[in-house]
Structure 1
């Protein structure tokens, strides 16, 4: 059994129909019925490209992946989660194969039948890591991490989310920096404290790596002589790091804690490799390693070992994996896990044109390889050009693969909060300009700037709260909602908006988006003409 998320439209506009009819539908209406006859990703890709000729190859590839999942990978018996506009979740069990229903409403023709088990799960019942996994902007995607399928099944049965099967109960006891420091101090260097970056940030009461947060944590670590390996500024929130006394004196053998960490057993390979890399740093390099940026390692796929073939494998083996998994290419690794090239359908075709009996070695071509510490922005052009880039760790072993679809998901997720806030501001401007006289708008602006304000566009986001506190201005709107609750929602959204202005490599979760989403739905309801 697997668990999936299928959205009912970009803004949930099809959710009521889906719940009432027991049928989940997706868009892509230009594809009229042909998907039932497809068997591979390439079949679907050809149809998508023909139906949407103005779209680029990356969009076509992304859409192909979603449709392939919906048509072929979702199976009867699987669980499906439908996020609702109310902020709640519905969970159902898939009861039928893919079917195309001609003549029904647009957006519901490509469909799967679903038996809804529960339709009112509060988000508070779901732990943050599972909610984060549901935050993708894709219409169709699998919940495959942290025991998601079993946890969704528990929610469907009315039980609370049992949490990650690998949840670090001990990390939850580190409720303040002093406790973390004390725990590191009491541990031997060959058994360092390891925890996820998410749990590490929580010690400081933080959820994302804003510059102010990382500066504070970096200062505290320096004051205590602690170091994280790899740097806590690299990797995703679920990446593992070790915290150790980096400034401690050498042991009897003359080795530092950093050097000994590489030989520790039971630690993630990424931690051991990073320790070996860090131990060889020259003075001054540490500061650059802690710089906040969009690192290659900030993408999940850069930290997920890709499927591969090894030097000496048969070409038939590579082709079998590519067809079965729907891949366009596979990395070719040596016995030590280092990259020797890549095999793709294009390279196979070229090799077989030259020699019908060409083997894997003949079809292997050179591939680009990024270090997980590289700036992601430096690799965007290369990924767009070739469609992918392999990722190596500090030990120069392959540890991930980034595709153009990964970039689309990464930056699409980051754009979404700004779009929500922009629509909120536009709606506020329009209704205020329509209902509140200019002299009263200028009254909430400092006198030195009031003359320059010609409309609500001259107001800051925070000024709307001051403007609408006034009974006269609030009455002018004619809204039949509670003023105090609206102002509280506006203030919460203002804080959320301000947080967006501070750079962080970590994505905004669906839970963190709730203030903006809730306020926008409220504005759409009370003033639809805006």
Structure 2
């Protein structure tokens, strides 16, 4: 079972027919019957022939959407239809692709659907699923965070149950006051634990950038709370405990932090690090442990235990694991989980050259080991040179491994949003310079700065919204799209861009990218030759 979104036109123009007749409808009226078109390449050829003036990107994009509509969507799948009212309809697909030759041009490509509910309030849908529905594509799948099961719940008239990996209890902590009350209610031997993601959500924040971290730290200081380990360390999915670090000692004269340490409920080394090296005399004092930085622990792989072999294992065991998993090396750990070396194909080869009967001990060489709280940038050169570095926790036990591949994925993920926003700005500059006279561009720039504006390149991102609100300027673009929706998307992209400019160790997720991606898709469609 899968879940899809199929829109009813750019401005919902097909919505009445879709709801009244129980059908999913897509446009592309230049295309004929696709019933016998079986492959993606055949659909691509049909799209290219029907729209000869469109570039390769648009043809490929449209091909993907049409292939999903004709072939990927199956009877029994759930489908969501966003409505002009702001609500959504949810149905179950009941038939295959149909071509209605006698229907209006924009309603010939159809699928039968049984509408189960037609007025789902968006307030009953969790933000992550709402964001997933926000793409401007006509046909796309809802594939993340168990979306199909959640849409099925909506179809039964139930509220969205949320991500299955989300902390149900944490979801109820909707503001700092509730967090404080919950920590105060709990006994010292049952600290409140939750993921960094859920912790940030209490403040309505998704990524750890300096201003947000400062706000949270101030709130925690005012309430005498502390997170263990610091919420600025680890990945967004790492778990932390929230404790009353500033509470007075109990009857035995013991602080909450000491009770946590002695009870083994949280990482002992983290607690001692906070007590000895990160004490805070009062609100506003800087704590070294809570500095926003790019730590080794910010990489997911640094928090994921790698495959390993124990000291004394057979070398054949290591070789078998390396072949099965496609690894170049394996850590060798002692009984306590501490690193005793690394075995690699190179070390195995060298050991066998000296002695064909060499075992694991002879093939084990010294391995590189970073602390999870180390600055990641200090280890990039070492990872580049050797291909990996093992990661240890504060008890000096191996807890992860960072490879060159991990760094490539991480920094590729971080660069992608900047490239996306840059293309949006470039396209805005180009179309404004081409269509709007310079004097009207200068009109949106206040004061003396207007005289220094020589083109749209001198405008801030936010200024484009003010410029294109003016009816005369909007009309000059000649775009057959809804102005209000475009300006809303532009404002969402401006806010996304502003957040992007603040450093955060947390990568931008695909869901967070959706609004900007949708705007870029729209700009490419409006100006396909650039």
Q: Structure 2-normalised TM-score?
A: 0.71
CA distance in 1, matches of 2:289, 2:309: 32
Deviations 1:434-455 (CA, angstroms, capped at 9, x unpaired): 1111122122223412222221
Q: Distance in 2 between matches of 1:431 and 1:503?
A: 30
1:170 partner SS: helix
Cα 1:167–1:435, aligned 2, differ >3 Å: closer, same or farther?
A: closer
Say yes or no: does 1:444 pair with 2:444.
yes
Does the C-alpha gap of structure 1 residues 477 and 326 become closer, same or farther in structure 2, counting only changes over 3 Å?
Answer: same
**Which residue does 1:264 correspond to in 2?**
263
- The structure-2 alpha-carbon separation of the partners of 1:313 and 1:257, relative to structure 1 and needing over 3 Å to count, comes to same
User: Is the alpha carbon distance of 1:511 and 1:277 closer, same or farther for their aligned partners in structure 2, counting shifts above 3 Å?
Assistant: same
Q: Which residues in structure 2 correspond to 1:178-193 (within 5 Å)?
A: 178-193=177-192
Quickly say closer, same or farther: Cα 1:356–1:252, change in 2 above 3 A: farther
Structure 1 residue 472: deviation in Å?
Answer: 1.7
Listed as ranges, the gaps of 5+ residues in structure 2 are 1-40, 42-55, 73-112, 114-119, 133-142
* Alpha-carbon displacement from aligned partner over 1:336-384 (angstroms, at most 9, x marks no partner): 1111111111111111111111111111111111111111111111111
For residues 264-301 of structure 1, give each alpha carbon's deviation from its aligned partner in whole angstroms, at most 9, with x where no partner exists: 36x4x6x4442344344364797111000111111111
Conserved 8 A contact 2:388-2:401: yes
Instruction: Quote the residue 1:274 is aligned against.
Output: 270
State whether residues 274 and 395 of structure 1, in contact with CA within 8 Å, keep that contact through their aligned partners in structure 2. no
The 5-angstrom pairing of residues 80-229 of structure 1 reads 151=146, 154=149, 163-165=162-164, 167-229=166-228
Which of structures 1 and 2 has the bigger CA Rg?
2
- In structure 2, what is the Cα distance between the partners aligned to 1:309 and 1:337? 10
Deviation at 1:470, TM superposition (A): 1.7
Partner of 1:525: 525
Do the aligned partners of residues 306 and 156 (structure 1) sit closer, same or farther apart at CA in structure 2, a change above 3 Å counting? farther
Q: Does 1:240 align with 2:239?
A: yes
Pick closer, same or farther for the CA change 1:20–1:440 going to 2, 3 Å: closer
Deviation per residue, 1:202-239 (Å, 9 max, x gap): 11121111211110111111111111000000011111
1:367-386 to structure 2, matched below 5 A, reads 367-386=367-386
Q: Counterpart of 1:493?
A: 493
Please give the alpha-carbon distance, in whole angstroms, between the structure 2 residues aligned to 1:431 and 1:390: 50
1:345 equivalent in alignment to 2:345:
yes
CA distance in 2, matches of 1:490, 1:129: 20
CA distance change for structure 1 residues 419 and 232 in 2, over 3 Å: closer, same or farther? same
Q: How does 1:384-463 map to 2 (within 5 A)?
A: 384-463=384-463
Instruction: Report the counterpart of residue 5 of structure 1 in structure 2.
Output: none
Mapping for residues 241-320 of structure 1, pairs under 5 Å: 241-264=240-263, 267=265, 271-281=267-277, 283=279, 287-320=287-320
Post-superposition offset of 1:199: 1.2
The 3 A distance-change label for structure 1 pair 406 and 204 is: same
Structure-2 separation of matches of 1:527 and 1:505: 35
Deviation for aligned residue 1:255? 3.3
8 Å CA contact 1:328, 1:345 repeated in 2 = yes
Report what 1:363 is aligned to: 363
Confirm or deny: 8 A CA contact 2:445 2:463 kept in the other structure: yes
Please state if 1:15 is matched with 2:70: no
CA deviation string 1:411-439 (max 9, x = no partner) = 11111111111111111111111111112
CA contact (8 A) 1:195 1:241 kept: yes
How far 1:15 sits from its partner (Å)?
2.4
Q: Distance in 2 between matches of 1:170 and 1:342?
A: 41
Partners of 1:428 and 1:15 in 2: how far apart? 26
CA RMSD of aligned residues (A): 3.6
Whole-Å separation in 2 of the counterparts to 1:383 and 1:333: 20
Q: 1:182 to 1:19 in 2, by over 3 A?
A: closer
User: How far is the alpha carbon of 1:130 from its aligned partner?
Assistant: 9.2
**Unmatched 5+ residue regions in structure 1?**
1-7, 24-117, 134-143
- Aligned partner of 2:18 in structure 1 is none
Contact kept? 1:229, 1:242, Cα under 8 Å:
yes
Cα offsets for 1:296-330 (capped at 9, x unmatched)? 11111111111111111111111111111111111
Secondary structure class of the residue paired with 1:425? helix
Which residue pairs with 2:484 in the alignment? 484
